[in-house]
Chains A and B, each alone.
Chain A
Amino acid sequence: MTKHTQAPRLHFFSSNSIKLAITSLISITLACSLSTPAQAADSVKLASIVELTGSGATAGTNFKNGVNLAIKEINAAGGIMGKKIETTVMDTQSNPGIAKGLTKKAIDDDVFAVFGPVFSGSIIVSMAETRRAEIPNFTGGEAADITMQGNPYIFRTSFTQSIAIPKVANYIRRIALIKNLAIIYVNNDFGKGGNDVMLKSLDPSKTKIVADISTDPGQIDFSAAILKAKQSNADGIFVYVNEEESARILRELKKQGWNKPIVGETTLTGQKVIDLAGDAANGVRAHVGLTVDAPNPAIRAFKAKFEKEYKYTSDHNGMKGYSGVYILKAAIEKVGKFDRKAVAAALHGIKISTAAQPGVLMDVEIDNKGDLNRASFMVEVKNGKQEVILELPMIPTQH
């Protein structure tokens, strides 16, 4: 039995509730207007607007950790041109509506650059804000249309799907010689985007797509999906899902006795997936833009530093965040002053080598759309570890 008090609830204004309402309104006002911290003259402000909770929590947290590691290192070495970096971290809760608000807040706080969000939906709203405010915005998102909006202030920290996926398609067609391909992808903007690009990249006369299977984020049981792939008589499968689901799919493939090539992109052969999938990960091949296991001294150094700082192995999102900060640093140093517009302009067409700036982890070029160009790798998982089987050099830009 519910107990109900005898409150005269139909009274609009009982004096106490009204006082409460006024106080709230005033406090909200004060809180919002007073939330701008004082500007320290000899520091440069950055904002990290990332997914720390919600479906993007893992990616966002790793991205943020990478960014913070880079900032810590740079500050220890004296900052950027003598100015230390101050950073605020904000959680978008994997919700674009909140991401938009937080970006406005960062703009109100007069930050120099924004890092994040990682999820494409949130980037779309936040980059509209940073564009209006003319603030450089580095993102970890991979969706193709991020750099197709003509926004001069958005910069990637990883390949766009429209560059990465065709590389996998080439591998599938030319090297793995798969004639009939089954595709499993996750039904979110990441997976759907990649699937769309893959469907366009494969010439139907050479490779037939015999199954295009969508799966849910957080899905546990993939027996139906794998069964569909088997039934389609594919002689190879392309897997494009998030980390935990990759592990589950690999295990299910092994369980159902799949003995044909399994190909993927960066997430599929991440160390996390290998740890979670165990034996089932062996033999899987993937195109990888950023991997902590690349045979590259700068990357090896980063891997060790990250593990020391955070006690776990970084994934590619950590690398994105880390290298992004150093890219910004390189651009600021190139321009010579803290001018947001000039730095953004300098970023278009910039070429940064690891010799000059080891923090960028790999030689990188940024084009005038904000896309980046780097070498990449084909890896294969052998004995529970990623091994590079092919190095794909940077495609020379033809501008």
Chain B
Amino acid sequence: MTDFFQLVFSGLATGSIYALTALGFTLLWQASGTVNFATGEFVMLPAFSMLAFMSLGLPLLASFGITMLLSILVLGWGFKRVIVDPLIRHGMMPLIVATIGLSMMMRNGVRAGYSAEAFSFPSLFSDSIFTIAGIRISASDFGTFGFAIVIIFGVQMFIQKTVTGRAMQAVAQNTESATVLGINVKRMVLYTFAINAILATTAALLVTPVYLAKFDMGSGLGFKAFLAAIIGGFSNSRGALLGGLIIGVSENLAGAYVSPAYKDGVALALFMVVILFKPTGLLGKTIERKV
């Protein structure tokens, strides 16, 4: 029985990683209709940026700070101005393709320009391991999970309780009405992109110690993020959390009790079921058909 809980707790920790990545993706889609296929690479790039600064001698938190600023500029504002704004009026297809191209650029740019190797990444948390009732949980498990909860609920609070957050919600739900209400739509959308960049960088900080920095870390992470966002539903941020945790835990349980070879299968099957029967996700609201 302790084994079961061991698997669940490890799964929750891994799941928080997926949830953090899924959150930015969710927000972006929700608030601006941008489906970003480069979500994973948006986490990979800040990770390497931090590594680069640290190799120049800067301590972790300083590297994090500088990377954060760069992210907001490049992955937030830059991404919006250069790619999203010109393309969004042509429909979803060109934008999706552009983000696919972007993910190729980022992935291969890092591979060719930095290295094809994997790198370790310092963790914010110590190496200690706690044994509680026979279950072994590391400090980093706790930390990642804890941070994920705090961040996700923080974002939720921001969106629902602050004026800016409510304005962003209004823009997401109905851009025209929002404009009529006097909301500066452009600025709200910009905020969304900036927040996405912040979330991606924070995710990088928390995820990379476990994931290890490698040019292709974005592919696997990004895909799991899509699964998490869809399963959980993305009309609110808790969906990303739920989706991520479900995937993390089901992978472990499937790996132990079903078959190690098909451990990804359970998450995928769940994903297919959700997408076919309740595409807005477990916590989502049904979309009305726009005529």
Give me the interface of A with B, judged by CB distance under 8 Å.
1-3, 52-53, 57-58, 61-62, 187, 213-216, 218, 220-221, 223-225, 227-228, 231, 243-244, 247-248, 255-257, 272, 275-276, 278-279, 312
Q: Do residues B252 and A223 form an inter-chain contact, with CB atoms below 8 A?
A: yes
Name the distance in Å between A196's Cβ and chain B's nearest Cβ.
15
Q: A228-B260, A276-B212 are in contact. Are A221 and B136 (CB under 8 A)?
A: no
Q: How far is the CA of A306 from the CA of B178 in the complex (A)?
A: 61
List 17 A-B pairs, Cβ < 8 Å: A3-B90, A53-B108, A58-B214, A214-B260, A215-B260, A218-B216, A221-B11, A223-B7, A224-B256, A228-B256, A255-B129, A256-B136, A257-B136, A272-B118, A276-B118, A276-B119, A276-B120
Q: Do residues B120 and A275 form an inter-chain contact, with CB atoms below 8 A?
A: yes
Interface stretch, picked from B109-117, B150-158, B163-171, B232-240, is B109-117
Name the distance in Å between A60's Cβ and chain B's nearest Cβ.
8
Q: How far is the CA of A225 from the CA of B263 in the complex (A)?
A: 11
One of B111, B138, B251, B261 near A221 (C-beta < 8 A): B251
Neighbouring A residues of B251 by C-beta, 8 Å: 221, 224
One of B91, B92, B117, B127 near A58 (C-beta < 8 A): B117
Q: A2-B93, A255-B138 are in contact. Are A224 and B7 (CB under 8 A)?
A: yes
Neighbouring B residues of A220 by C-beta, 8 Å: 14, 17, 210-211, 220
Q: Which of A215, A227, A275 has the most CB of B within 10 A?
A: A227
Q: Do residues B136 and A187 form an inter-chain contact, with CB atoms below 8 A?
A: no
Q: Do residues A231 and B91 form an inter-chain contact, with CB atoms below 8 A?
A: no
Q: How far is the CA of A199 from the CA of B17 in the complex (A)?
A: 36
Q: How far is the CA of A257 from the CA of B119 in the complex (A)?
A: 25
Name the distance in Å between A221's Cβ and chain B's nearest Cβ.
4
Name the distance in Å between B120's Cβ and chain A's nearest Cβ.
5
Interface size class of B (residues with CB under 8 A): 35 or more
For window 1-49 of chain B, which residues contact chain A by CB distance below 8 Å? 3, 6-7, 10-11, 14, 17
Count of A-B contacts judged by CB separation below 8 Å: 91
Neighbouring B residues of A256 by C-beta, 8 Å: 6, 136
Give the dominant DSSP class at A's interface.
Answer: helix
Q: A257-B136, A276-B118 are in contact. Are A221 and B216 (CB under 8 A)?
A: no
Q: How far is the CA of A278 from the CA of B211 in the complex (A)?
A: 15
Q: Do residues A2 and B260 form an inter-chain contact, with CB atoms below 8 A?
A: no
Residue B284 lies at the interface, judged by CB distance under 8 Å to chain A: no
Neighbouring A residues of B143 by C-beta, 8 Å: none
Residue B187 lies at the interface, judged by CB distance under 8 Å to chain A: no
For window 116-167 of chain B, which residues contact chain A by CB distance below 8 Å? 116-120, 127, 129, 136, 138
Which residue of chain B has its CB nearest to the CB of A64?
Answer: B116
Q: Do residues B90 and A2 form an inter-chain contact, with CB atoms below 8 A?
A: yes
Q: Which of A62, A247, A257, A276 has the most CB of B within 10 A?
A: A276
Which residue of chain B has its CB nearest to the CB of A2?
Answer: B91
Neighbouring A residues of B10 by C-beta, 8 Å: 221, 223
Neighbouring B residues of A275 by C-beta, 8 Å: 120
Q: Do residues A218 and B220 form an inter-chain contact, with CB atoms below 8 A?
A: yes
For window 90-107 of chain B, which residues contact chain A by CB distance below 8 Å? 90-93
Q: Do residues A224 and B263 form an inter-chain contact, with CB atoms below 8 A?
A: yes
Residue B248 lies at the interface, judged by CB distance under 8 Å to chain A: yes
Neighbouring A residues of B17 by C-beta, 8 Å: 220
Q: A2-B91, A214-B261, A215-B260 are in contact. Are A227 and B117 (CB under 8 A)?
A: no
Q: Do residues A187 and B261 form an inter-chain contact, with CB atoms below 8 A?
A: yes
Which residue of chain B has its CB nearest to the CB of A310?
Answer: B115
Q: Do residues B3 and A243 form an inter-chain contact, with CB atoms below 8 A?
A: no
Neighbouring A residues of B253 by C-beta, 8 Å: 224
Q: How far is the CA of A220 from the CA of B6 in the complex (A)?
A: 16
Neighbouring B residues of A257 by C-beta, 8 Å: 136
Neighbouring A residues of B256 by C-beta, 8 Å: 224, 227-228
Which residue of chain B has its CB nearest to the CB of A254?
Answer: B129
Q: How far is the CA of A266 from the CA of B255 in the complex (A)?
A: 26
Q: Do residues A255 and B260 form an inter-chain contact, with CB atoms below 8 A?
A: no
Q: Do residues A247 and B91 form an inter-chain contact, with CB atoms below 8 A?
A: no
Q: Do residues B260 and A225 form an inter-chain contact, with CB atoms below 8 A?
A: yes
Q: A1-B91, A244-B214, A255-B136 are in contact. Are A58 and B14 (CB under 8 A)?
A: no
Name the distance in Å between A393's Cβ and chain B's nearest Cβ.
33
For window 59-97 of chain B, which residues contact chain A by CB distance below 8 Å? 89-93
Which residue of chain A has its CB nearest to the CB of B207?
Answer: A220
Q: Do residues A244 and B89 form an inter-chain contact, with CB atoms below 8 A?
A: no
Neighbouring B residues of A221 by C-beta, 8 Å: 10-11, 14, 248, 251-252
One of A218, A276, A279 near B127 (C-beta < 8 A): A279
Q: How far is the CA of A3 from the CA of B90 in the complex (A)?
A: 6
Neighbouring A residues of B255 by C-beta, 8 Å: 224-225
One of B118, B119, B212, B260 near A224 (C-beta < 8 A): B260
